[in-house]
Chain A
Amino acid sequence: MAERPADATVPLSIEDLTVDYGERRAVDGLSLALRPGEIYGLLGSNGAGKSSTIRSVVGLVRPRSGRVRVFGLDTSVDALRAKERIGYVPETSLLYEALTPREFLEFIAGVRRLPAAAASERMRAYALAFRLESELEEPIATLSSGTRQKVLIIAAFLHAPHLLVLDEPLNALDPRSVRIVKDLLVRYAASDGRAVLFSTHTMAVAEELCHRIGILDRGVLRAEGTLDELRGRAAHGDATLEEVFLRLTQEDEGLPAAVALLEGS
């Protein structure tokens, strides 16, 4: 098969990605591409392959086959340069718990070789926006999961990345912070050819934020498009995203029976 030329303006392209964990296949031949200025939502049930896809993009998982390109850079060949362009928020708030948020962000700024003044100014702005001032010198081990999530979000934005990759980023956040992150993502994606890939199983968030949505089911991309396009695929003109999702993944099958079973218990 002839190799497609890399397009440096495409924020993210995934071609025929397959990820295995031992004998279990987590992602099966996934292909998708993000356009500049786009917020792309990966939607799926638990274990659908969302996190495995995201981990492959940020270099945490070595795929069995397939290719991931970030602004034309093949992540298997040019991983460091690709990672320089990515800001990543993991699914679980895994940080260096023995550090304080300020020490952690200082470490990130060092690794990303950021100028001190710019890094300090950004950290200050985000810390104030998230009301993190009183926790900046507390060890991360002592912080709540929501506060840790805020630290991870600041770390992801600290270098003003070209591609944001977020795995369930709104988990554990308070309503105010959720609003801030949503606004940030919308404004961020609209500027300077950037793009956002984020996974969620919260339909309302995907419906509100995403320009396009990819529905993953057992490692396979079942459908992709705008909300209207997905409604068309599901032959459901005025359906909510939840109804579209359940129909496309065929997870609505047996739903009434399951509810009835619970009612009878």
Chain B
Amino acid sequence: MGWRDAWRLSRAPFTEVSFQAIYAFRQGNLAPPDPARTLVPRARRRTAQSKALVGFVLGLIALGGGVLLRAGPGASSTLAAYALPPAEYDAGVLTGLLSIDVALLWWTGLQVLPTFLASGALPVLETLPIDETTLRRTASIVYLRLFDVPAVVVLVTTPLFVGLALGPFAGVAAVPGAVTAVAFALALSFVTGRFFVRKIQGSRGGGGRTVVRWAHLLLWLVPAVAVLGFVSAGPVFFTVLSRAASGGPPAILEVFEAAYPFPLAMLPSLASSGAHGLSLDAGERAELAVTSAGYFALAVYASRWLLGSVRSVARLPTAVSEPGPPPRYELRPQTPSLAILTKDLRTASRTPGYAFLILLPILDSVAIGLVTLADAPSHAAAQSLGLAAVVAAALLATFFGPAFFSIEVLAYSYGRALPLSNRSVILGKAALIVMIYLLAGLIVLGITLVRVPAPWVFAGFVAAELPAVVAAALLQLGILFRWAQARGVPVPNLYAGAWSALIVALPGLAVASAPLVVYGWLGFVGMAAVSLGELAVCAPLTLRRRGP
């Protein structure tokens, strides 16, 4: 059997992954009260919509990159302040663009991999009389189909917009960067997925293992937050680049030339002429050629390795944890809302997709905090950056509210048989969102304390925004619960339920943003008033006692 047969065979397992990503029946979700014949087409449609949405975002980012390249270093006063030559500026923008591409594709993989592994879609084929090569190819195609639209968007739009901004040769020179971004993202998704099965999913409970598990997750997730890390660390990056370009220590430029994706991001500048053209001596050219070729070769190797290995992850035995200490028979029951919160944290500690959502705002705060500490030119600027970190944490924590709800899909059919009110579930999940926000705020405050001139202003800002974060969380969760009761659970996972998540996230984001906007005009008093007003409206709406 050839590739054509493998493609044909991949349709059923890919549909199964889409189906489970939407309905999560294997994880205990219930069928929605719709005619059975509509379920599979809807799963296909929603998966396609979600992939289109991720592709659209990636296309938009590429367009943004193209616009920044076209506008040049004078695009804004902030960028102009770095006084970067056009070629270095172009390389900096492209570095950001490729980093974001890798991170977003990787993130997409994180969202769907647990479903891919749990769907059991590929092992079904293993029992059939199909030759090894076809099974390997089929597994690879199913995996590639999870990323097809977003990957194609990166491969097409990156060279296209670079070409439109810097000329056709620069566009062609951007192709290796786009190809490596896709190859690395897909391979990283796969590697981390395998790591997840081996190290995290099967980790025993108790005895401090939760801490070790979170540490594993943290290590695993740090590269995945490259997108925010890069954006947060952008000022530092441009500063270093500027110093290197203006004759700073050559070692810095060499480090940049060696680190991914900078060498590949420099290629379009090398292919450009005029002000955007990069002038390097022979040695530097050779160095750039070697590092670029090295990364490209690594991407080719990663792709080949990936295509040969996907089948193995589908066949991985269920993780078996190591023998542990004698069992504890002690139960420590908590109140229902706390029990929900603890359950969600424990679930997240063994489910990277959820851990990512919890850790992202916190890691982002750490990144901005460190940048503030290292680079902010003045105390006032440090305070502004600190506040920006809190704003980011508030918006991120709120944005992921629907995803926290989707944890409830796991064993939903069992959970609904328990005497658990909506109010308890909503409060438990809102507590998680608030906890993330407060932790992020405290981290920023802790890191920036030496640079922030008036910590009480900072603390006041965190406190004034808090009711709005609570209100946004309650609003989102309330909408999702009504939705779940009327139409079944809407957001099994973000890979397939991106539209649903977005629709619910937007009103939450609006509520969380309103006090931040008001702060600019009316200061703390206005901010706190709006924030409290929102909570006064949203809390009774969501928490009034209704049926279960």
Binding site for B on A (CB under 8 A): 21-24, 55, 58-62, 79-81, 83-84, 86, 88, 90, 94-100, 102-103, 105-116, 119-120, 123-124, 127, 133-134, 136-139, 141-142, 152
Contacts and interface: CB of A to CB of B under 8 A. Distances in A.
Contacts of B332: 106, 116
B342 A139 contact: no
A112 B347 contact: no
A23 B37 CA distance: 10
A217 B321 CA distance: 45
29 contacts: A22-B36, A23-B35, A24-B36, A60-B416, A60-B417, A61-B30, A62-B33, A83-B548, A88-B417, A94-B28, A94-B414, A96-B343, A96-B410, A98-B351, A100-B204, A103-B205, A109-B331, A111-B419, A114-B331, A115-B333, A116-B331, A119-B333, A136-B329, A137-B204, A137-B324, A138-B204, A138-B321, A139-B201, A139-B319
A139 B28 contact: no
Contacts of A98: 201, 346-347, 349-351, 410
B123 interface: no
B327 A127 contact: yes
Contact of B333 (A60, A99, A116, A133): A116
Given A106-B332, A116-B333, A96 B417 contact: no
Residue with the highest number of chain B CB atoms closer than 10 Å, among A55, A102, A133: A102
A142 B320 contact: yes
Contact of A113 (B28, B33, B336): B336
Interface in B398-434: 410-411, 413-414, 416-421, 424
Contacts of A95: 28, 411, 414
B203 interface: yes
Contact of B318 (A21, A114, A141): A141
B206 interface: yes
Contacts of A133: 326-327
Interface string B28-60: 101101111000000000000000000000000
B339 to A, nearest CB: 3
A39 to B, nearest CB: 20
Interface in B303-344: 318-321, 324, 326-336, 338-340, 342-343
Given A22-B35, A96-B411, A113 B205 contact: no
A231 B205 CA distance: 52
B27 interface: yes
Lowest 10 A-B CB distances belong to which pairs? A110-B339, A94-B28, A22-B35, A100-B205, A124-B329, A109-B333, A83-B419, A98-B350, A136-B327, A110-B333
B28 A79 contact: no
A60 B319 contact: no
Given A84-B419, A103-B346, A137 B206 contact: yes
Given A90-B413, A137-B327, A142-B320, A107 B28 contact: no
B203 A139 contact: yes
A113 B333 CA distance: 7
Nearest to A152: B414
A23 B35 CA distance: 6
Contacts of B36: 21-22, 24
B411 A94 contact: yes
Contacts of A113: 333, 335-336
B338 A21 contact: no
Given A80-B419, A83-B548, A105-B331, 8 more contacts: A96-B343, A98-B201, A106-B342, A114-B333, A139-B319, A141-B202, A142-B319, A152-B414
Contacts of B31: 21
Interface in B512-548: 547-548
A24 B411 CA distance: 25
A79 B413 CA distance: 15
A225 B472 CA distance: 55
Contacts of A88: 414, 417
Contacts of A109: 331, 333
A31 B521 CA distance: 65
A112 B415 CA distance: 12
A139 B321 contact: yes
A105 B346 CA distance: 13
Given A99-B346, A102-B331, A124-B329, A90 B417 contact: yes
Interface in B185-199: none
Given A21-B36, A84-B419, A141-B202, A90 B331 contact: no
Nearest to B318: A142
A142 B421 contact: no
A80 B421 contact: yes
Contacts of A103: 205, 343, 346
Given A59-B417, A137-B205, A139-B203, A99 B329 contact: no
Contact of B339 (A22, A59, A111): A111
Residue with the highest number of chain A CB atoms closer than 10 Å, among B331, B349, B418: B331
Contact of A94 (B27, B205, B339, B419): B27
A83 B418 contact: yes
Given A116-B332, A142-B320, A97 B416 contact: no
Contacts of B202: 138-139, 141-142
B419 A96 contact: no
A235 to B, nearest CB: 38
Interface in B130-179: none
Contact of A110 (B28, B35, B326, B338): B338
A106 B332 CA distance: 6
Contacts of A137: 204-207, 324, 327-328
A62 to B, nearest CB: 8
B336 A90 contact: no
Nearest to A114: B333
Contacts of B207: 137
Given A59-B416, A103-B205, A142-B321, A79 B547 contact: yes
A90 B414 contact: yes
Contacts of A114: 331, 333
